[in-house]
A and B are shown apart, each in its own frame.
Chain A
Amino acid sequence: MIKLHLRLLIFMCSFSLFAQDYFPSNSGVKSKNSNYTAFTNATIHVSPTEVIENGTLLIKEGKVVGVGNSVNIPKNTTKVDLSGKSIYPSFIDMYTTFGVKKPKRGGNGPQYGASRSGFYWNDHIMPEQDVMASFKYDSKSASEMHKLGFGVVNTHMPDGIVRGTGALIALNNNADNSMRVVDGESSQQLSFSKSVTSRQRYPSSIMGSMALLRQMYNDAKWYSGGNVDTKDLSLEALNKNKNLIQIFEAGSRANLLRADKVGDAFNIQYTIVGGGDEYERINEVKKTNATIILPINFQLAYDVDNPFLASTLSLSDMRSWNQEPHNPKILAENGINFALTTHGLKSKKSFKSNLMKAIESGLSKQKALEALTTIPAKLLGKSDILGTLKTGSYANFLITDGDIFKEKTKLYENWVQGTPHVITDMDTKDIDGDYTFKLAGDNYKLSISGSTDKPKAKLESGDKSLGTKMSYKNDWINLTFKTADSTKKEYIRIAAHTGSGKSLNGKATLPNGNDLSFYANKEPEILETKSGVDGKVKIPPTMKPVTYPNMAYGFTEKPKSETLLFKNATVWTNEIDGILVNTDVLIKDGKISKIGKDLSDRNAKVIDASGKHITAGIIDEHSHIAAASINEGGQNSSAEVTIEDVIDDEDIDVYRNLAGGVTSIQILHGSANPIGGRSAIIKLKWGASADDLIYDNSPKFIKFALGENVKQSRSSTNSRFPQSRMGVEQVYMDYFSRAKAYDQLKKSGKPYRKDAEMEVLVEILNKERFISCHSYVQSEINMLMKVAERFNFNINTFTHILEGYKVADKMKEHGVGGSTFSDWWAYKYEVNDAIPFNAAIMHNAGVTVAINSDDAEMSRRINQEAAKSVKYGGISEEEAWKFVTLNPAKLLHLDDRVGSLKVGKDADVVLWSDHPLSVYAKAEKTIIEGVTYFDLARDKQMREAIMEEKSELINLMLQDKNKGLKTQPVKKKEKELLHCDSIDLHN
């Protein structure tokens, strides 16, 4: 007790230290404690790379004034002997919302304008937000963080796309903000998520958030150039904050790559809050050069006891349970800098156990310590005062009984700015162990556990267990237990001193009141020869191999381009040669090398294709698979967004499309607005990363849309222009008129505000970008062609174009293609007159016709949809086949590369089991640039491997549960089927 008081005294004294010099004092005389405190004989981890054995740490006024083996100790020093104990710099969490309440959701219904004035036009851009305005020190949360070893946190307002400045706070429970606030403007915070306080619709998708950020940076530059007469406090703040560390909450490796892409365009290197799944695309993550703030919210094992429920688990979810703990190690191995954070943990308490998991999975202790100390300190520009215990640093340190990265290591005290926060009283002697004693002729065995925390005793005599109560304080234990005679309710009481910790010495009072002397001897400890719990050998967890993509049907090794010779096939050339029977096709270097009879090549893998058909790969002009978002409907024009920003490289529908013979698709923006977003045209190279899926030198496309969707016919609110087909025309007239003026200004050499939307529209006017327009009824189809003609360009493609047959002659004259459904109709009012003969009529009128899917289900059997043109309208089979190959290639300006089997073109080829237009045909091999991405036989093997891996993972999860570890309920993975109408649930 005396020692404790002493320590508290130091603590109280240090308090006055924080009152600032120039503040008046009305509570007593002005006093300042300028004594030293020395921590001696400790193992001091000055920094992750420097350890001093038997060292001394000298602090004064909240700072380190000396550290080493021979520190000069002044007279006015209070000494604390830390023999056998260790000192570490305390941890820094860069990404918290400490002391900040998240604002409440505001408003109802969609809103298209901003709700503020004097600020940026979009409510979700709030660089002027200052976290200190709503900061309230929370000593309860601070105590929680102390227990985990944290001394300093960076906090911010977790709301909005640009969230304003964060602040760096020392978790000093016995000071006020004048002392605790290390930096009131320590960072600028960003994310892709909108503010909950505003209902402004834009942006309604991640690609919209990306576009908004880009436009914001352009506008900030324009504003700082003095080109704007009015005030914009947001842009002013943004420009002011630009030298701060820019912390971007991405939350997943996919969004991490997206965030970095936005930053790169403006020479901004964000520090990015990751998702813990970076290992899935480690090379891409590495290429960003970003430092990552890494959550370690590893998943719990799923509760797989119920086989019915367990069967709904996907391999990818099960794998992430197994793989995630290895993520920190993998980042470290790849030389990626990262700081660790408690962000994302459901319960902060699990930080230590997850950190231990990461270390067990191979993260070095040094890296772990760096990620918690020096790296965040450096990122925050505070290496001189935080992260190490070098002279001049804050006296922010931890006292432990050993290696801080060991499971059982005790954290005694967490000092922040020279203020101790006691976690476990280090003066309490650890008296855990087994003791034996004799009392009145009986032998007893006493086991004490949890002595420094929650002491517990178990007492046995003979083979009987006796009910026991124990207390332990200041080196004295009191023990009360029931006598062995169970017929009586009699108790024996013991009071004993713990002495050196090897024995207990005192007296026992028997039920009859007699006192006896008491001596218990501690049994020698059995040294742990094996590590781990229960003395069992702990096997380090093995990581299941990452596949590309990291899910079912992913490739362990990316498949390579091969030289392939198909013999004796029926070959659908789509060229003047027509359909050739008993013909060979040679694929070499990713290209179609030869087509003819009796071909040979020494290096080729020969495939017997007799009785089978070979065609060019299918091209789907209108797809929405492989995208993380489809519609940016927050405004009536969203030319500034691009699907290329939101490609999803782990969509199983890509694989399923390959199994249907599809090799290329255009991922179109949705139809929420008259001017939609730009397309991504990709090859279905299953396993490649998002950016590698996109065509090299991809033709540029944009989606436009007409009719019911853009006039929001099925929306309950009607506050967005246009609400009629009449208005739709005016949207186009307006935008193209402005784009023309923009282009003229730009070309004039005068200064102009860079407008991403206008830049795209100018590309259309200059015939560098092509329109694929969602369209249904003849009036609107006609209208758009007339608008285009007035601005002297052509519409490239009408997609859907279900009443194209009514204006096929006009389409032919305008030179626009039609990409339509085979037989869809009756799903909404504007498709009343849709007929399955549409493709045939347009084709007969001379329009280039494609059959598209707009649907992940249809696209995987779109050969059947082409065949319907034979049924409805009597198109020849050869022409019908072009509807899903050569014609969409033409419409996409890719017919010089793909769409037919011609020597020199890309080897995007499908081997069919049967006539490709037949309902009975199956794709046996789907090849892109000589790489076999789908193979029926390999698919069978993969199925078996998936089963095997899942059973293995289920076993491992059961082991976890049986060990008593917590589990989480099974979840069923779902992938929303995206269509034109799909609106993102993007907040």
Chain B
Amino acid sequence: MKTLNKIYSLIFLLCLTLGFAQQTPAPKQTKDFAIVGATAHIGNGTVIENSTIIVSDGKIITIGPEASTPVTKQAMDIIDAKGKHVYPGFIVSNGTLGLVEVDAVKASNDLSELGTFNPHIRSIIAYNAESKIVESMRPNGVLLGQVVPRGGRISGTSSIVQYDAWNWEDAAIKTDDGIHINWPSSFSRGRWWLGEDPGLKPNKNYDKQVKELVDYMNESKSYNKGGKDESHLPFEALAGLFDGSKRLYINVDDEKGITDAVNFAKEQGINNITIVGAYQAGNLTNFLKQNNVSVFLRRVHTRPEMEDDDYDLPFKLAKKLVDAGILVSLEPSGQMERMNSRNLPFYAGTTVAHGLTKEQALQLITENAAKIMGIDDLYGTLEVGKSATLFISEGDALDMRTNQLSHAFIDGRNLSLETHQTELWKRYSEKYNQQD
């Protein structure tokens, strides 16, 4: 055991000397580099064995089988990745990283704002680029994500960031990409303090709540036609939905709610819609497909909602939707969602045990997420001309046994894989080694 410890401590020392200081964002790429010999998982369902990837000025300039793409340039770093795997950086859909640091400490929480209709509330300005939780994403290959405000009927406006930045402006890769709505629930709870049955009963106010939302959207549409006397910030914030520049994300899980929500969006003339959650979407695959609706599927690692549900329903739902041709990405919301976002690859891995192929599962957290959020021009796949936002893993990155990163890059910048957590690991491993 002691010798084992010594070996570990050597490895730690090596890491320490090679590693960057924690939380210092990596500098811009100055020198071209090539990753040679790895199995490249493109993110679009295909794989290139023994690949060569050449990165210049933050972009992938070459990717292909090693044999057909020899590395010729002289002034280039070569990373030998034989036997290893390269993946596009994983993308967190519907994330909240950077908005809360410690769940139970209210002072560290910037997740939601007062009020019901808050489209003007913008998450990006509260994004904490220096969050210790954000940095803990990188060693697992989770490199990008949406930052979404929560609460209310219209929660606000999200943006998309990369996870190695000095500040929120630096982090932003697409600002104000979408508006997030919480669809009225089909069930509501009795007010037990008034002696009502606290159980879940059909929500009597459902129709009223839907109408309120419809009215609000209509008012906003009228406002945005012009000719207004006074400015109305929330209405203004919704303009992007009607001109197609913003996507509408609707959080809803039940079958009827999903149907109503999609019909609502269509009637409003909003075409870019994504259903978030979508627990019962399995019964609506044709409808969703016909209406070109994409899905942020709720956290794979959850319990089935109803007692009678198949025990593996949350695990296998992705397979059902993907098979039906629906564009699906995975979202992490739920308990401890921020720290758990680093488990995104394993959410995808679980869908493999329940039906998808590994490359299909990978697509959920790379290409599909990028497509839905509209960042697929640069992110989500390993293709020529796209950003070199990728990482090298010792093995299959969707399985926790083998998700071991040696390198990670955002826009070609070589990231530190150190975190508050790895530092403590090293500090205390060292402490016990000294005692030996």
Query: Contact residues of A with B, CB < 8 Å?
Result: 308-309, 311-312, 314-316, 551-552, 652-653, 655-656, 659, 708, 713-714, 805-806, 808-809, 823-829, 831-833, 835-837, 841, 844-846, 856-858, 860-861, 864, 867-868, 870-871, 873-874, 877, 913-915, 917-922, 939, 943, 946, 950, 969-975, 977, 985
Contacts and interface: CB of A to CB of B under 8 A. Distances in A.
Interface stretch (B1-9, B110-118, B158-166, B225-233): B1-9
Interface string B117-134: 000000000000000110
Contacts of A946: 308
B339 interface: yes
Contacts of B311: 655-656, 659, 860, 939
B400 A867 contact: yes
A918 B435 CA distance: 35
Contact of B304 (A656, A805, A844, A867): A656
Contact of B201 (A311, A828, A969): A969
Given A870-B400, A972-B187, A919 B307 contact: no
B400 A868 contact: yes
B302 interface: yes
A308 B404 CA distance: 45
B436 to A, nearest CB: 10
Nearest to A656: B311
Contacts of B404: 871
Contact of A826 (B102, B304, B401): B102
A833 B350 CA distance: 28
Interface string B344-373: 001001101110000000000000000000
Interface residues of B, number: 57
B202 interface: yes
B301 A871 contact: no
8 contacts: A312-B306, A826-B133, A827-B103, A829-B104, A868-B400, A946-B308, A973-B307, A974-B200
Contact of A920 (B4, B192, B399): B399
Nearest to A865: B400
Contacts of B350: 861, 864, 919
Contact of B339 (A314, A825, A917): A825
A120 to B, nearest CB: 28
A538 to B, nearest CB: 31
A308 B346 contact: no
B263 interface: no
B389 to A, nearest CB: 22
B28 interface: no
Kindly list the 4 A-B residue pairs having the minimum CB-CB distance in the complex, ordered from nearest.
A919-B349, A828-B104, A972-B200, A837-B425
A977 B424 CA distance: 32
B360 to A, nearest CB: 13
A311 B399 CA distance: 35
A870 B401 contact: yes
Interface in B381-436: 398-401, 403-404, 421-422, 424-425, 428-429, 432, 435
Contacts of B422: 835, 837
Given A827-B339, A977-B303, A845 B432 contact: yes
Contacts of B66: none
Interface of B: 1, 4-5, 8, 101-105, 132-133, 186-187, 192, 198-202, 254-256, 301-304, 306-308, 310-312, 336, 338-339, 342-343, 346, 349-350, 352-354, 398-401, 403-404, 421-422, 424-425, 428-429, 432, 435
Nearest to A855: B335
B424 A867 contact: no
A613 to B, nearest CB: 13
A977 B302 CA distance: 11
Contacts of B201: 969-972
A841 B428 contact: yes
B202 A864 contact: no
Nearest to B105: A829
Contact of A919 (B133, B199, B346, B421): B346
Contacts of B102: 826-829, 831-832
B102 to A, nearest CB: 6
Contacts of A805: 424-425, 428
B349 to A, nearest CB: 4
Nearest to B256: A308
A182 to B, nearest CB: 33
Given A826-B103, A841-B432, A920 B307 contact: no
B421 A836 contact: yes
Nearest to A968: B201
B303 A857 contact: yes
Given A308-B256, A552-B308, 18 more contacts: A312-B254, A652-B307, A656-B303, A823-B339, A823-B342, A826-B336, A826-B338, A826-B339, A827-B339, A828-B105, A835-B421, A837-B421, A844-B432, A913-B353, A919-B346, A919-B398, A970-B202, A973-B200
Contacts of A832: 102
B277 to A, nearest CB: 15
B301 A861 contact: yes
A943 B310 CA distance: 7
B95 to A, nearest CB: 14
A874 to B, nearest CB: 7
A835 B425 contact: yes
Contacts of A977: 303
Nearest to B300: A861
A309 B303 contact: no
Contacts of B256: 308
Contacts of B5: 844
B430 to A, nearest CB: 11
Contacts of B255: 308, 311
Contacts of B349: 919-920
A828 B307 CA distance: 30
Contact of B424 (A835, A939, A969): A835
A858 B308 CA distance: 19
A841 B429 contact: yes
A985 B190 CA distance: 14
A845 B306 CA distance: 43
A347 to B, nearest CB: 16
B428 A806 contact: yes
B312 A659 contact: yes
Contacts of B303: 653, 656, 856-857, 860, 977
A868 B342 CA distance: 12
B104 A714 contact: yes
Contacts of A973: 200, 306-307
A552 B311 CA distance: 11
B104 A975 contact: no
A919 B399 contact: yes
A864 B428 contact: no
Contacts of B101: 826
A154 B12 CA distance: 77
B403 to A, nearest CB: 6
B307 A551 contact: yes
Given A653-B303, A827-B339, A920-B353, A833 B424 contact: yes
A913 B355 CA distance: 13
B202 A969 contact: yes
Nearest to A913: B353
Contacts of A552: 307-308
A312 B199 CA distance: 13
Nearest to B187: A972
A825 B136 CA distance: 11
Contacts of B312: 659
Contacts of A314: 306-308
Contacts of A655: 311
A861 B351 CA distance: 13
Contacts of A920: 349, 352-353, 399
Contacts of A808: 428, 432
A972 B421 CA distance: 42
A114 B308 CA distance: 44
A809 B424 CA distance: 16
B338 to A, nearest CB: 7
Contacts of A975: 307
Given A826-B338, A829-B105, A861-B350, A877 B401 contact: yes
